[in-house]
Amino acid sequence: MASTIIDSRIFGDMFSDARMRDVWSDENRTAKYLDIERALAKVQGELGIIPQEAADEIVQHCELSMIDWDKLKAKTEQIGYPIIAVVNQINANCRDGLGEYCHWGATTQDITDTAAVLQMREGLALVEQDLADISEALATLAQKYRNTPVIGRSNLQQATPITFGYKMASILAGIERHRERLSQLKPRLLMGEFGGASGTLSSLEKGAMETQAGLMKELGLAQPLISWHTVRDTIAEVGAFLGLVGGSLGKIAMDVKLMMQTEVGEVFEPYAPGRGSSSTMPQKRNPISCLYIHANVSVARQHAAALMDAMVADHERSTGPWEIEWVSLPEIFCLISGALKQTKFVLQGLEVDVMRMRANMEITNGLVMSEAVMMGLGPYIGREYAHDLVYDLCRQALKENRPLIDILEDHSEINKHVNRAQLEAMCDPVNHLGQAGVMVDRVLAARRGA
């Protein structure tokens, strides 16, 4: 019976993605062990390091269907690691003792680390596709709402007008940076490990480096310059990268949650009958996906920190830090996969209420245009004096609950320089969107050119 959120039959597909769970499953992990042992035997047979007959026999028996899972579990608990248990079963299935050549010159950590790299390669391919899908959804929103005014918010207070397309494009730019980071990360990460006991391949009298090179070529991985058994920066880098991705997904979820508030009501998660309802309040339409995103990325950040702890390894084989990765790597990948899936769902079906956006800009009776008014009056009465004057008039507008434009028009120091029509132009949000459209276009152009 499942006991974690990730593997839960009820919650599993809300907190994670089934594809990512498959990547980090016992079956796939063990399949990777077998892939490596198969590739190692094949290469060593071709190099004449082990008898070709033994290589052929080992290759034939590195099959997941031949694994006895009960024996694998029992032996792993006895020894503490699963690799010997896997090798034992391969050996037992081979004829005439030819299986004794399995795992020739390797050590447990070689197989474990290389398998983890193969799993991360598969996991990152899923992340890469999800980021591309999210990028596409954000680009669509940025283009569609390029010129749609919405109030910008600073310290949760209304600030100055922006456009909703600008808001989406700013997040899109961050997602595009993640895609760039991932392409830069992969060459550093996707290298295997084959170093033997202390990393020097002392167990092989000949053909050591040739074996290492051939094994990595067979697996489609880079050959390391030197063993990295206890130098774990690349693993920690993956965690840091996924933590950064999670931060961006959390930003999306945070803004959507806030914009879904009853008093705001500018955007909504996609609607489905009953989704987000309350057990006691029939009127409720709660955010759902955003909540799971928030929870997932918060926990994933802790796992990223744990992977930093795992870097502090002792000598040439660590006593504990390595096992931190066994716990944290699968969970950070699975949690981020769930956050990515929920984010795609939100963005691809996001409901945008343009009329509510405009209405919300008007609830302050024009106060959100005070910066524009200050700058508009600056050439006539000086920017600093205009700032202080508009500040006082804003306080008056609040106290009297009157539109700012009426108070501006009535002021003698203002109406002798500008008329009502000019003030209306200053107070129209559409006239004060700055370079939002230009910036949206720049982000979209950069994305197309990538």
Structure tokens at 52: 């070709």
Rounded Cα distance, 240 and 314, in Å:
22
Q: Is 436 exposed, middle or buried (0-12, 13-18, 19+ CB in 10 A)?
A: buried
Region of 411 please: left (phi>0), alpha (psi -120 to 50) or beta.
Answer: beta
Cα-based distances in Å from 207 to 53, 111, 125, 223: 18, 19, 33, 15
Q: Which helix (H) or strand (E) holds 399?
A: helix 383-400
- Beta carbons of 246 and 300 less than 8 angstroms apart: yes
Structure tokens at 53: 């007959």
* Residues pairing with 149 in the sheet: 163
Active-site hit among 177, 188, 275, 278: 278
Active-site hit among 19, 121, 317, 402: 317
Structure tokens at 142: 């940025």
**Helix (DSSP H) and strand (DSSP E) numbers for the chain:** 19, 4
* 25 carries an active-site annotation: no
* 278 carries an active-site annotation: yes
Rounded Cα distance, 126 and 44, in Å:
33
| 365-393: b (≥16 Cβ within 10 Å) or e | bbbbbbebbbebbeeeeeeeebbebbeeb
- Beta carbons of 5 and 180 less than 8 angstroms apart: no
372-376, long-range: CB within 8 Å, 24+ apart, which pairs? 372/160, 372/426, 372/427, 372/431, 372/432, 373/404, 373/408, 373/423, 373/426, 373/427, 376/418, 376/422, 376/426
Region of 156 please: left (phi>0), alpha (psi -120 to 50) or beta.
Answer: left
- Beta carbons of 37 and 93 less than 8 angstroms apart: no
State the catalytic residues: 278, 317
